[in-house]
Amino acid sequence: MRLTAFVVLCFSFFITMLIPPSGHAQGRGELLIDVNFKQTSLKTILKDIERKANVIVMYESTDLRMNDKVDISLKRKPLAAVLDTLLGKQNLKWTLRNNTVRIEDASYKNQSSGSLFSMPALIPVSGIIYDPEGQPLGGVTIIVKSTGKGTISGPDGRFELELAQGEELLISSIGCADQKVVIQNGNTVKIRMVRTISKLDEIQVMGYGSTTRRLGTGTISSVKTEEIDKQPVGNVISAIDGRMSGVQVVQPNGLPGAGLMVQVRGDNTLGPNFGFSASDPLYVIDGIPQITAYRSYDTRLTIGVYGMNGASNLLSNLNPKDILQIDVLKDADATAIYGARGANGVVLITTKKGQPGRIRFNVDLNTGVGSIERFIPLLNTAQYLDLRKEAFANEGITPDANNAPDLVSWSANVDNDFQRMIFGGKAKQSNANISISGGNDFVRYYAGLNYRKEGTVMPGYNAVKRIGGLLNLDITSTNRKFDVQFSVNYSNEQSDIPSVNFQSMLFMPPNYEPVNPDGSYNWNPNFNNPLASLKARYEAENMLLNTAVTLSYRPLNRLTLKLLSSYSLHRSDNSTQNPAESFNPFYGPQVAYTTFAYSPTTSYTIEPQAVYRFRTGAGEFTALAGGTVSSALSKSTILYGSDYAYGSLLNTISSAGTVFASDLYNKYNYASGFARITYNLNRKYLLNLNYRKDASSRFGPNHKLAGFASVGAAWIFSSEAGIMKSLPVLSFGKLKVSYGTTGNDRVDNYLYEMYYNTYNGSYFSPGYEGINTLGPGISANPALAWEITRKAELSLDLGFLKDRILLHGNIYRNRSSNIINAELLSGQAGTTFVTTNFDAVVQNKGLELELTTRNIQTRDVSWTTSLNISLTKNTLIRFNNIENADASSRYIVGAPVNVYLDYYKYSYAGPDPVTGVPGFKNLDDVPGADRYVVGIGTPYYGGLNNTITFRNFTLDVFIKFQNRRGKQNDLLTRVPFGGMSNQNISALSRYRPGKDNEDVVWPLAVSGVGPLTSVYSNFYNSDFAYGNIPYLKIKNVNLSYDIPARLINKAGMNSVKIYLQSQNLFTLAKQKYVMDPEMPGAYPSLRTFVFGINCSL
Amino acid sequence: MSMDLIYKYRTRLIVGTWMLALCACRKFVTLNDPQGQLTSGRVFNDKGSATAAVLGLYTNYIDYTFPVMCKTGGLASDELFTTNPELTPYLSNEILPSIALPGDTWAQEFAHIRECNLAINGLENATSLDIDIKNQLLGEAKFLRAFGFFNLLNFYGGVPLTLSINDIENASLPRASEQDVWKQIFKDLVEAKELVAVEYPSAERARINKSAVAAFLARAYLYHNEWENAEDEATEVIEQNSYSLEDLSRVFTPQSKETILQIYIQQGINPLVFDYLPPAPGFAPAVYLRNDFKAAFEPGDLRKDNWVGTDGSLSFVHKYKNNDYTSTEYLLLFRLAETYLIRAEARAQRDHITGLNSAESDINTVRSRSNLKNITITDKKAALIAIEQERKVELFGEYPHRWFDLKRMKGLTSLSQTRADEVVAALKGATWQPTDKLFPIKSEDIRLNPQLKQNDGYPNQ
């Protein structure tokens, strides 16, 4: 009830604001207006009337009477009467047609051209505009060239104007090339628009609307379906990786179903490790902001239970083939319309819609195989045993069956390669997509069904399967005033993969045999048995159901009312099952247990909107007002079952002997009102103003509401005749500046109020005399408020040689303040911390470049190139009261926010020449500790794409490059060098007593059981295995061939394409000792080859 | 409503709708309580949940607080010994405020006091709770808060009087004087005694009744040298028919007639046994009795046989018997034998040394239970020595009785000293300083609250 009232209120608000008095042309003469002037020129008074009555007044500008000073005072009189009074005295005559008032000298009756008035006779012109597909096109701007005035076409594509014979009309619409039409005789014109070939005019989706690179004031990067289709990826977010400046895809591992995240222009908060707020962007699917009741997006689906592929999120449930395009909003101007949720950028995902015309039936089938691209070169058994013997000899320790089974008990003739044993398989994948789309003027549809199965390179059955369907339906009323879009997206992803990480097991001694001759597992106290660990399984079912309905109504040509509403259900039902035999008996009793988690999240969003477009003078206004009401509820039930009597029923809680249960409940409500005004003057000067008022349930009673605003302005200097004359190669030039504030409310719920919690019989809380007790929760902070990000940007867009070369460059600076984190309290408070806003500032600065060129464009051959590079710098500028912040020792003012103690490293100076133990440089960064802050993050990253078509062949090669800083050696762990773990071949260059030790890399080997081991703890905290890991990856290659039409037409086909695609084909990296420089220490992304066929009829 | 009318009043309409929309927004983002969680107001207006919240206060002593107090107090005095490097600073009375201590009594007791404050505030503001229930629960919460402050006072001296429910306010309070903390303890206890019922609220003696408050008051008055009050409160308890000295083997069972207040323990997790009992034969427990402690028992004292365990040359506190996760023993906070000894000491201080209703008669009541012969006492000094000795062998290990006794009792050779200065100095030599009677406050707590002053004799960081 409350909600309905709100929606009605919002609508009435928009209508009252936007509807001008009796805003229709027919009765304009009866329109009541006030005119009150004393000794004012006729010219000025007419201007006032133009504004009040929303008419265009035309007169002979040389008429001196227009400068006459007159008195007039009329209240609420019809326009006709006002004009009579005003002009009658001056002996001027007026006529009103449509919205144009023509003033003529009454003494020259029935004059036409050639009169003293040089003004040409005006003729009424009506027209209808069609889109390239032949459907009437509304919202098209029509401008009379000589006057700069004009109109906008209605939903039926129609427009009406009055103009002189021979006048030129400029017609422009988003996504279409500009057209010029000269009016000759004919009173009705029909104009068919054509799709643009310039990238500048391709549609970019923005918050609550769409724009183009030519006319937009915000900074938006887009990836379209053609680019997505060329990549055999399971998660659509992978398809934008490296292809957008300022956008990084954070991929935790290369396993199917892994939750990928987008990061836009760096961390705006205190980072994922210790911060109390999250820096995920806002994801918007088909205009519907996706919300979760948790602060961080990736915890949305999997609560409490994780498989080897980590936390999943709903993005892995989307079918890439159903996606039309992905747009990422970056600067203040583009993101401020999302107010409190726009601080970390906005990712807009648009699904495919039906196009009017013939029915298109498309089948796409492909199958492929993936494998590890590169393994780390490791020591063989002989080299390994040498190292081990040497380590014992160095310390004078005798190896025995306890401290060195590898030397004493195990065969020296076994040479196992665990990398290939565990990760050496082939990951098969297959995909099937069927879609049907089409429609007519009034009904359009897109329906798709998809199936994907992807395996892993590990032994045994491991697979993630996804099945899903999408239906988009668009219905328009016959008068084209009413439109309904209906969308249902369902997908179900099932995982059956291991639950543990095998990374540490890749480097076991090469002479270790995991299985004894009798078939039993070979256990030892030093490491786990990989074959046994494979028995621990992660079984999951992640379900996504997104439904949305958008109603649009155009009561007037200029006004569109919209109501978006959506409902989503995201559900995760998963378990990790650990059979008794998967546990190392040396680490404790082998007891089977299973953890089950059932986590449904439901959410709804309702967004009423009103868009009003109108022209005055040479300018065009678009005003948008709207509101959001959304609510998300996430629940989770976690059951922990143990004491299973037998291992064959670990997949049910019923057969567990002991059960602990816990549950979680989180609710998040959010509401806002927003407005935007865009002004476009002569397609030369653009101005965009945003304002948004937000309300979030995550803050205390007095801090729930906050306002955010932005301004963006652009100057298309290529529209200035003078500049164009002096720079003939320049075809487009735009200078753009934006500034604004956005917010972040990604914090935990309920922090403003202290709640009592109950516990359910876990032995951490035993209850009292059989009663489950209640206890107070963490400290509340009713004053908790939003994080605020101030974004400033300056950007330049250039087009050369008729837009064959397009260059975009920008510099930006984002500063986030009011950062939320824990403030430590002295122990006497009885609680350790309170969540609060700190006077801290996190800055992200950067430079982004995007270059697109059409190198060759002939009938048979075309070659296009696009390149993007981003340079970023993240700095913690200020952190007052840092000493009272949680983990205060971890943040360093002046360093990036994710520098924490781990990134203070000792500086390794090679082995000591005398003793061979690791030596370190003397440093002063941290007094007395000889540590310094090593660089972290990604100083630059980018991508280069080349597309070449030759007749029916198309070849795409996409290269991603990065310089990131991080771990250079996957093998350097807490096991000492020389301990019971294999090492990469660089270990051959090590300090050997009594040998020539010049230029050796590694220090003296130690066994791990002797006293020298402790000397090595600083070595593991040194920069020995840490540094720059620049790399370049041929991320994607696509080769496709379109079978010539004459061969397939007989078979009734429209097009048939066969293709070969490869992902992660080749990596060129400075570092050989990590499997995948993109994600060191994780299951790598695979080199995949896919063969497929796409048929369309 | 014609368009023109709308147009005429458009400003008012816009402002009006905007205001209404804002109100609607604000209301929409104001949530109900999350499932599984309750606001204080709802907790304390319902009998069941209010009781569950107050019972939660008792559970605070189950986990770590209580064993840590017993261990650290016992080690700092002449009772317990350890080789655990985390605990040896207590053994040598050389505690460094900069080093994180195992189980932080300061933080744990203040966390308990925070919960008591919240309960007291919630109960005082409760409008729809039955008055008898409300009074009983309020009395229990006040008693438990006083217990928290009592422990803090004895370990640290004057501590901040954190009585507010505003954590941030509490976090920056300076220390109160010892006298002010005493005042607060007595205020809470006197009020609690008015509020709670004569009978235990549940079948066991695991919640507070009037006698439990009296027993605590007796202890508090004794520590505060208010002899007459201490004697009166002790007498009030002793004269209750429901309490009697129990057979030594049953003193620590839930059914013990001697119990005045126990903490309920779920089967198997009595926290004291983990520290006191050997994990397996031949393995030393975390803390055990000093070698010479056994010598303190007179020949024939049954307590030595019943309450001291032996494993080889090692002797350990064996009041609680089982460490095999099957223990059904509760944690004893107040029992009748201590109350007798409190009255004995109060009577001795009031010079009722010998004869009927004297210090001597109370001491002999306790001695006779342990199969010891009656003693005859002639003067006050002898009485006080006898009481100290009796407390030592009767109350060892179950609460930091010995540490608190040594700190509060006047020296035998010089009245300006305490017994701690005599006994502990003799035992530990030069590592003992008179300032060691108070434990230090963690330097991290001082860093976070500069108002807080460290105890004398400790570095400030």
Residue A1033 β-bridge partners? A960, A1067
- Based on the structure, what is the number of domains in chain B? 1
pLDDT exceeding 70 applies to what percent of chain A?
Answer: 92
Q: What is the Cβ-side half-sphere exposure of residue A806, based on CA atoms within 13 angstroms?
A: 19
Please give, rounded to a whole number of angstroms, the shortest distance from the CA of B85 to a CA of chain A: 19
Q: Which residues of A touch B55 (CB under 8 A)?
A: 767-769, 771, 773
What per-residue confidence (pLDDT) applies to A274?
A: 65
Confidence of residue A888 (pLDDT cuts 50, 70, 90): low
- Sign of the torsion formed by the C-alpha atoms of A261, A262, A266 and A269: negative
Residue B259 within a domain = no
* Any A CB within 8 A of B18 CB: yes
pLDDT above 90: residue A770: no
> Cβ(B421)–Cβ(B434) under 8 Å?
yes
Question: B207 or A775: which carries more pLDDT confidence?
Answer: B207
Q: What's the CA gap between A187 and A184, in Å, rounded?
A: 8
Collapse the DSSP code of A480 into the 3-class scheme (helix H, G, I; strand E, B; otherwise coil) and give the result.
coil
From A412-416, A672-676, A903-907, the region with the lowest mean pLDDT = A903-907
> Cβ(A866)–Cβ(A805) under 8 Å?
no
Closest residue on chain B to A764 (Cα): B63
Q: Which residues of A touch B44 (CB under 8 A)?
A: none
Closest residue on chain A to B169 (Cα): A829
What per-residue confidence (pLDDT) applies to A155?
A: 77
- pTM value is 0.84
Average pLDDT (A202-222) is 88
HEC secondary structure over A700-747: CCCCCEEEEEEEEEEEEHHHCHHHHHHCCCEEEEEEEEEEEEEEECCC
Digit-coded pLDDT (tens) for A790-821: 999 999 999 998 889 999 999 999 999 999 99
Question: Which of A701, A766, A826 minimises the CB distance to B452?
Answer: A826
From A338-342, A460-464, A501-505, A780-784, the region with the lowest mean pLDDT = A501-505
Collapse the DSSP code of B347 into the 3-class scheme (helix H, G, I; strand E, B; otherwise coil) and give the result.
helix
Structure token digits, residue A1083? 């299951």
What per-residue confidence (pLDDT) applies to A896?
A: 85
User: Rounded to an integer, what is the distance from CA A76 to the centroid of its chain?
Assistant: 53
What per-residue confidence (pLDDT) applies to A900?
A: 58
Q: Which residues of B touch A828 (CB under 8 A)?
A: 106, 110, 159-160, 162, 170-171, 173, 445, 449, 452
Confidence of residue A300 (pLDDT cuts 50, 70, 90): low
Q: What's the CA gap between A850 and A246, in Å, rounded?
A: 10
Average pLDDT (B50-76) is 90
Q: Which residues of A touch B43 (CB under 8 A)?
A: 756, 774
Confidence of residue B3 (pLDDT cuts 50, 70, 90): low
pLDDT above 70: residue A994: yes
**What average pLDDT is seen over chain A?**
86
Closest residue on chain A to B265 (Cα): A768
Question: A241 or A47: which carries more pLDDT confidence?
Answer: A241
Please give, rounded to a whole number of angstroms, the shortest distance from the CA of A769 to a CA of chain B: 6
Confidence of residue A120 (pLDDT cuts 50, 70, 90): low
- The answer to whether the CB atoms of B445 and A756 lie below 8 A apart is no
- The answer to whether the CB atoms of A767 and B266 lie below 8 A apart is yes
Q: Which of residues 82 through 141 in chain B touch A, CB cutoff 8 A? A: 104, 106-107, 110-115, 117-118
Q: Which residues of B touch A767 (CB under 8 A)?
A: 55, 59, 266
Quick one: which of B147, B269, B265, B164 has its CA closest to B208? Answer: B147
Average pLDDT (B166-190) is 97
Pick among A609, A745, A756 to test the B interface (most B CBs inside 10 A): A756
Residue B144 within a domain = yes
What per-residue confidence (pLDDT) applies to A512?
A: 94
Residue A659, φ and ψ in degrees, nearest 5: -130, 130
Give the DSSP letter string of A153-197: --TTSEEEEEEETT-EEEEE-TTB--EEEE--S-SEEEEE--B--
Average pLDDT (A439-445) is 89
What is the extent of the structural domain holding B110? 1-174
Residue A424, φ and ψ in degrees, nearest 5: -90, 0
Q: Which of residues 413 through 432 in chain B touch A, CB cutoff 8 A? A: none
Confidence of residue A24 (pLDDT cuts 50, 70, 90): very low
End-to-end CA distance of chain B: 75
Question: Strands A787-800 and A730-744: what pairing?
Answer: antiparallel
DSSP state of B52: H
HEC secondary structure over B289-337: ECHHHHHHCCCCCHHHHHHEEEECCEEEECCCCCCCCCCCCCEEEEEHH
Please give, rounded to a whole number of angstroms, the shortest distance from the CA of B260 to a CA of chain A: 17
What per-residue confidence (pLDDT) applies to A47?
A: 82
Residue B287 within a domain = no
Please give, rounded to a whole number of angstroms, the shortest distance from the CA of B4 to a CA of chain A: 6
Q: Which residues of B touch A763 (CB under 8 A)?
A: 266, 269
**Angle CA A1013–A1014–A1017, to nearest 5:** 105
**Angle CA A547–A552–A557, to nearest 5:** 165
pLDDT above 80: residue A128: yes
Average pLDDT (B353-363) is 94
ipTM: 0.91
Confidence of residue A762 (pLDDT cuts 50, 70, 90): very low
Collapse the DSSP code of A749 into the 3-class scheme (helix H, G, I; strand E, B; otherwise coil) and give the result.
coil
- The answer to whether the CB atoms of A834 and B27 lie below 8 A apart is no
Residue B7 within a domain = yes
Q: Which amino acid is at B282?
A: G
Greatest Cα-to-Cα distance within chain A, rounded to the nearest angstrom: 124
Question: Which of B31, B269, B449 minimises the CB distance to A826?
Answer: B449
By CB atoms closer than 10 A (0-12, 13-18, 19+), residue A770 is exposed
Residue B63 within a domain = yes
HEC secondary structure over A796-825: EEEEECCCCEEEEEEEEEEEEECEEEEEEC
Residue B49 within a domain = yes
pLDDT above 80: residue A764: no
Digit-coded pLDDT (tens) for B431-444: 899 999 999 999 88
Confidence of residue B234 (pLDDT cuts 50, 70, 90): very high
Q: In what order do the strands lie in the sheet with A122-130?
A: A158-164, A122-130, A188-192
DSSP state of A236: G
Give the DSSP letter string of A1001-1023: -B-----SSSGGGGGGHHHHTBG
Digit-coded pLDDT (tens) for A588-645: 778 899 999 999 999 999 999 999 988 887 788 999 999 999 999 999 899 989 888 8
Average pLDDT (B167-189) is 97
What per-residue confidence (pLDDT) applies to A111?
A: 43
Question: Which of B22, B115, B448 minimises the CB distance to A824?
Answer: B448
- The answer to whether the CB atoms of B7 and A21 lie below 8 A apart is yes
Please give, rounded to a whole number of angstroms, the shortest distance from the CA of B30 to a CA of chain A: 6
Q: Which residues of B touch A775 (CB under 8 A)?
A: 53, 56, 59, 115
pLDDT exceeding 90 applies to what percent of chain B?
Answer: 72
Residue A281, C-beta contacts closer than 8 angstroms, at least 6 positions apart: A262, A263, A264, A328, A344, A345, A346, A347
pLDDT above 70: residue B353: yes
Structure token digits, residue A100? 């144009």
pLDDT above 50: residue A110: no
From A252-261, A1053-1062, B260-269, B437-446, the region with the lowest mean pLDDT = B260-269
Residue B79 within a domain = yes
CATH number at residue B31: 1.25.40
Average pLDDT (B68-93) is 92
What per-residue confidence (pLDDT) applies to B461?
A: 58
Q: What's the CA gap between B134 and B123, in Å, rounded?
A: 7
pLDDT above 80: residue A17: no
> Cβ(A559)–Cβ(A19) under 8 Å?
yes
Confidence of residue B130 (pLDDT cuts 50, 70, 90): very high
What per-residue confidence (pLDDT) applies to A660?
A: 83
Digit-coded pLDDT (tens) for A637-696: 999 898 888 888 899 999 998 888 888 899 999 999 999 999 999 889 999 999 999 999
Q: What is the Cβ-side half-sphere exposure of residue A953, based on CA atoms within 13 angstroms?
A: 6
Quick one: which of A247, A452, A270 has its CA closest to A335? Answer: A247
What per-residue confidence (pLDDT) applies to A433?
A: 96
A615-629, A871-885, A1064-1078, B352-366: which is most confident: B352-366
- The answer to whether the CB atoms of B59 and A665 lie below 8 A apart is no
Confidence of residue A112 (pLDDT cuts 50, 70, 90): very low
